[in-house]
Amino acid sequence: MPMSPNQRAKLLHLMKIMLDKSDEQNPMTIVEIIAELDAYGIKAERKSIYTDFEILRQFGMNIEIQRDKTTRYYIAHRQFELPELKLLVDAVQSSRFITEKKSEELIAKLSSLTSAAQAKHLQRQVYVAGRAKALNETVYYSIDQIHAAVNECKMIAFRYFDYDTAKKRVYRRDGEIYKTTPVTLCWSDDSYYMIAYSAKHDGLTHYRVDRMSDVCP
């Protein structure tokens, strides 16, 4: 009898269950694991789970056993430990150049690197006096474009702007396209600056990356 598609994916679902549901403080019994698999429409026997665990260990997953009155299993070591993820989350939340929306997206991705129980500890709020979040959503991608241009020694084009009292963009030079050759990125006073060679000025100049828009090669 051919194996069902769900049954073929059993090992993948088991790996996801262990990564999402288990950690040292939240180990799982075989009965709980079988119930989780059943929710995916996958039938499993105790003996097959032991075999699957061994395959996952050979793959590199650190599945440990916790023995007391009941034997339980959990993922012991991950790519990032919880204190490391907390540090990264704090850095994202306190960073001025990352917008609120992008901060939330990044923290959600960081939370996926640990168990659901530990991810709750990442829902932190860091307050930094006098530090407002950036308004420019595209700054995240502008930095990537600038890095690529620096590595490839290429020019980029962009528009440069300020904010008025109503927090609306006011483009310099009536929206004129700037063309420069990026040399490096500099972090100063909690802002990214692009240091670039300007043919117009025949020398180096700098621009705040969160004030740049429509960055392209």
Residue 2 pLDDT > 60, yes or no?
no
CA gap 129, 115 in Å, rounded: 32
What CATH number matches the domain at 5-75, 3.40.50.620, 1.10.10.10, 3.30.413.10, 3.60.130.10? 1.10.10.10
Encode burial over 31-54: b for 16+ CB neighbours within 10 A, e otherwise.
Answer: ebbbebbeebebebeeeebeebbe
CA gap 7, 42 in Å, rounded: 6
pLDDT digits (tens, 9 = 90+) for 117-131: 998 888 765 544 445
DSSP state, 211?
Answer: G
Which of 30 and 129 is assigned the larger pLDDT? 30
DSSP state, 177?
Answer: P
CB 81 within 8 Å of CB 99? no
What is residue 48's predicted lDDT score, i.e. its pLDDT?
A: 94
What is residue 136's predicted lDDT score, i.e. its pLDDT?
A: 64
Query: What percentage of the chain exceeds 70 in pLDDT?
Result: 90
- In this prediction, residue 93 has a pLDDT band, given cuts at 50, 70 and 90, of confident
pLDDT digits (tens, 9 = 90+) for 147-200: 999 999 999 999 999 988 888 899 999 999 999 999 999 888 778 899 999 877
CB 178 within 8 Å of CB 160? yes
CA gap 22, 34 in Å, rounded: 14
CA gap 83, 61 in Å, rounded: 20
Query: What integer best gives the mean pLDDT of the chain?
Result: 87
φ/ψ of residue 195, rounded to 5: -95, 125
- In this prediction, residue 42 has a pLDDT band, given cuts at 50, 70 and 90, of very high
> What is the pTM (predicted TM-score) of this model?
0.65
- In this prediction, residue 144 has a pLDDT band, given cuts at 50, 70 and 90, of confident
